[in-house]
Every structure is written in structure tokens, then in C-alpha cells.
Structure 1
Amino acid sequence: MADLASGKGHRDENFPVASALIAPAHRAPIMHFYRFARAADDIADHPAAGPEEKLRQLEAMRAGLGGDGRPEAMALAAVMRERGLDDVHAHELLDAFVQDVTVRRYATWEGLIGYCRLSAMPVGRFVLDVHGEDRGLWPANDALCAALQIINHLQDCGKDYRALDRVYVPAETLAATGGRIEDLGGDRATPGLRAAIVQLAERTNGLLRESAPFAARIRDRRLAAEVAIIQRLAERLDAMLMTRDPLAERVHHGKAETAMIALRAVAGHFLGRARG
């Protein structure tokens, strides 16, 4: 099979992945899950590979979870067996990447959230399972993970359209604001597309309000601190999307800004725990 790796690693992501805050005992399985997800994402997003090749390689990823397929999946399967972790999250993630290959448009917000149910929520659920956290945290996790996914989609909406002909801005939202799919190919957003992006950022803000209590409810203090950072970074990026055009302006944090946001988020989180 052709190597479709992008060369992207965990330090290139918008949000922390198994940072130094995470206890070393938990970092290894999370990194195995990340490498599995990264490999599958690279397959689904490769701009030159055809759908048949992508689906063939994703099936090899799934076979690896059973013990005979892609090495990234086999390594993850071994860690899950060793730790007694359910492989449902890995399979759901593969379902999302198959959907990336076979579905290029979303009609409604609900359809987009349904995609996030496969593409984003299982990632956080896996991390919670690794830490032995209560599954009662899943609704808050799901809201945060869906918000992160949609923020990424809005940041990359032009690139996804131009490179992959993939559109995550729901058709109903574009229709309501007077935007068109073709607007995503421009150098800057038209008024209709800009209004659609703002509307989706506002709905994402609703998800972030749902996830706001998440970090404080996590027992593991180190994981809680990382989630507090992710929550704050997401809030800031979502606010940026309400005022900046992702087709024409930078909608990302610089390293220094990320570090400052992280320090403030951790300080605020532990101060809140002390008071609570």
C-alpha cells in the first residue's frame, strides 16, 4: 500500500495532545491512540489518493485492531488489550474517516454533530477511559470535543474545500445567510459565508458553555488541568472566528500566546478547585 503519511505530528495540532501534564503512565496509550488517529486521518485527507485506495487502507487499519493489518492499529490494539480498554472508540473513529471519504457535504447542524459523534467524541472518551474516569463525564466531554472539531472545520473551511472538495458548513446555514459553497474557494469570505461562519461559531459557543464545568469534575488533577487549558484555548479560538475571516486572516494561536493562555487556565483551574 502507498504511504499516505502527511508527516504531521502531535506537536502540530491546535490543542495539546498527551502533554507533560498527563501522568507518564497514561501518556503512552494516549500517544498510541493519537498515532492511530493520525495515520487514519492522513489516509482520509490525502489529496491525491483515490476513494478506493483510501477505503482499502482504512480497512487495513480496522484489520489491525483485530491483530493483522496496519502497524499503528496493531500497536494500539496491543495497548488496549494490556490495559483492558474497549476498542469501540477506535472503531468509531475509523467510521468517521470512512465517512470523510464517502460524504463531502452536510445538510444540517444535526448532521454535523452526528459526524462529530464519530470523529471527535471518541477521542476524549478514550482519554477518560485511560484515566479510569466516570462515564458520567461523557456528555461534557462530547460537547467539548464537538466544539474542537467544529472550530477546526471553520479554521480550515477554505482549504478543505479547495484541496478535498469537502464542506463542513451545513447547507441549511449557508441557505439562511445567503452564502454559497463556491464562496469557500475565494480569497476572503463573502458576506453570506462570513455570516454563516459567525452563526456556526455562536452555536459552537453553546457547546463550550456546556463543557465549561468539565475540568472541575475530573478526578485526575493532571488531566483536569489539561482539559482546562483546552477549554480556554477553544473559547479564544471560537471568539476569534466571530471577528476574523478564516479565508483571509490567521485564526490560530502563536506559541507565546498559547503558553500564556495555558498558564492562566491552569492557575484559574487550581484556584477554583481550592475555593471549591
Structure 2
Amino acid sequence: MTSASELRSGKTHRDENFPVASWIIHPRHRALILAFYNFVRTADDIADHASLPEREKLDLLDLLEAELLGHGDSQKEAVMLRQALAERAMSPRHALDVLIAFRMDVTKLRYETWDEVIHYCRYSAMPVGRFVLDVHGESTSTWAASDALCAGLQINNHLQDCGKDYRNLDRVYLPRDALAASGASIESLGEARAPAPLLNCLHSLAVRNEALLNESKPLGAVVQDFRLGLEISVIQAFADRIVRLLRVRDPLSRRVHLNTIELLAFGFGGMAGEVARRATGRRPVSKPVAGA
């Protein structure tokens, strides 16, 4: 069987829409978070591989799970995460949850409703935030706001990459009922520019996702770790900017990502806001979303 490492896309933690174990996070946590990221990235790349047969994808995901649980040592990402978790006496539960999502990616190509997409996010995105919170010793009471943030980040990504996902993988995360309500067809995702019905659907989903991201605003106020609070503020600033772009841009014809200047500006802006909030003790206020 092919080694999972050989199927990596080349994407690293530096290529994400949000910081992963950045310099903001305390050094004692970075290696464990990066081990988790590399495991998840490897599994994701397996599920997204354009030419690998379905059965082989599922077998490789099963192998990653087995070795994460201690049954073998042939897959380095699984072994490294297993060892890193053992050093902290932490459970592999969140990594196992993410594997559920990647198996879904292999076998499920369409989603009927927003709730189905959120169910997917329950396994693809929410465990990542929960893991980082657990690494920092935070209370499970932080999970609800974290879940909203992680799901919002995932849906931002779905909207950004909707054309590429359809063309390369025949995978569509846009809910069928939302497409139907706008009079849009799935096939229009293959066009170079979104027709008006599809663009209306994409913008309406961005509005809905902005409301979801708004539910995550209390997260920085409830985490105890100062540096983690700063990291969350940066992630929220990036997510907010991207979703605002998605509300007005066409992701089929225009790349919806932040450039270096925007990353710096919104990153430092987010950190400054969090420092000021902690200094004054004020709690974040959820903003109403126009058109939601």
C-alpha cells in the first residue's frame, strides 16, 4: 500500500486561511498542534486525491486510524501524533472525529441542506478547535463558541473553493435547497464566472455564514490563556474579512483570499482589539448581520 506521506499535496500550515501554531501560541504547545495538523492534513489530502481509487482512500484512512491507536508504525504522521498525545496523556478522540469527515469526503459528494453541511463541520472542523482548547487546558464550556468559529471557517473555505471542488472532485458543499431557492444549477459551478442565480446563492450563504461566525465572538472572552486569546482574535479577524468579501465577490472568477498586507493589518488589528478588551474587562458584543 502507498504511504500516506507520498500523497501529500504540498500544502502546509503556512498555506491556511488562519494561523496554525503561530508564534503567538506558547512554544510548549506548538509541536503537539503541528503534529495534529500534519495528521489531519495528510488525511485530508488522501480524501481529496484526484486519481486515487475510493477503496484505497478508505483503506489508507483506516490505516492512519489504526496506527494512531497503536496498531503499527508505518505511517509517520500517525506515529508522531500518537507519541505527542501520549506525552500529554491526551486522548486521540478529536483526530478520530476528523477522520469521520474525510471518510464522508470520499463517499458523499452532495449536501441537501445547511444542517447537513453543519453536520459535516461537526467532524471536519469543530474537533480542530476543541483539540486546541484541550491542549491549552481550557474548559469544555468554550466549545460552543469554538464550534461556531470552526464551522464558519470551514464554510468560508467551501465558498472560496466551490468551483475547484466541483471541477476537480465533483464535490459540492453548497446545499441543494439553497441552490434551488436561487434557481441555480450545480453544473454552473463549472463555469468561469458565476451566473446571476449562482452568485445570489453564494452571497446568501455568505450572509448566513457571517451570522454563524458572529456566534463565535464570545470565545476570546471565555478562554483563560492570554496567548490563545490573541490567536483566536487573529483568526476571527481573518474570517470576518473573508466572509465580507464572499458577500460581494464571485469566487469562480476572482480569488477570495487575503494578501500579505491584509493579513498583517487584520492580524495586528485583531490582537490589538483583544489586548484592549482584556485590559478593560469588556465583553465582545455580537454585531447584527445586515440581510441575515
**Is TM more than 0.5 here?**
yes
- Match of residue 11 from structure 2: 8
CA distance in 2, matches of 1:120, 1:70: 23
Distance 1:34 1:65 in 2: 14
Bigger shift: residues 200-209 or 32-41: 200-209
The one-letter code matched in structure 1 to 2:254 is: E
Q: How does 1:109-120 map to 2 (within 5 A)?
A: 109-120=114-125
1:171 equivalenced with 2:171 (yes/no): no
| 1:204 equivalent in structure 2 | 209
64, 80, 83: which is aligned to 1:61?
64
Matching of residue 191 in structure 1 with residue 173 in structure 2:
no
Question: Which residue, out of 29, 32, 38, partners 1:29?
Answer: 32
Q: Identify which range, 108-117 or 8-17, moves more after superposition.
A: 8-17
1:260 maps to 265
* Corresponding residue of 2:75: 70
Work out whether residues 64 and 72 of structure 1, in 8 Å CA contact, stay in contact via their aligned partners in 2: no
1:81 Cα offset (Å): 1.7
State yes or no: 1:223 paired with 2:252: no
Contact map agreement 1:63 1:70 (CA 8 A) in 2: no
> Structure 2: how far apart are the matches of 1:30 and 1:49?
28
1:86 corresponds to which residue? Answer: 91
**Structure 2 equivalent of residue 51 of structure 1:** 54
Query: 1:117-165 CA distances to partner (integer Å, 9 max, x unpaired)?
Result: 0000000000000000010000000000000000001000000000000
Which of 133-142 and 77-86 deviates more?
77-86
Displacement after TM superposition at 1:260 (Å) = 0.9
Q: CA deviation at 1:54?
A: 0.6
Shift of 1:82: 1.6
Distance in structure 2 (CA, Å) of the matches to 1:255 and 1:62: 36
Q: TM-score by structure 1 length? A: 0.98
* 2:246 aligns with one of 238, 241, 244: 241
List aligned pairs for 1:99-178, cutoff 5 A: 99-178=104-183
Distance 1:27 1:238 in 2: 28
List structure 1 runs of 4+ shifted beyond 6 angstroms: none
Aligned pair count reads 276
- The Cα shift of 1:26 comes to 0.7
Identity of aligned residues (%): 52
1:269 to 268, 271, 274: 274
RMSD: 0.8
Alpha-carbon distance between aligned partners in 1 of 2:147 and 2:220, rounded to the nearest angstrom:
13
Supply the distance in 2 between the matched residues of 1:96 and 1:103 (Cα, whole angstroms).
10
Q: Letter of the aligned partner of 1:23 in structure 2?
A: H
Query: Matched residue of 1:137: which SS?
Result: helix
Hey, what's the Cα distance between the residues in 2 that align with 1:17 and 1:275?
A: 28
Unpaired stretches in structure 2, ≥5 consecutive residues? 282-292
2:41 equivalent to 1:38: yes
Q: Which amino acid aligns with 1:15?
A: F
2:290 aligns with none
Counterpart in the other structure of 2:288: none
Instruction: Give the residue type in structure 2 aligned to 1:11.
Output: R
TM-score (norm 2): 0.93
Q: Name the CA distance, whole Å, in 2 between partners of 1:66 and 1:148.
A: 28
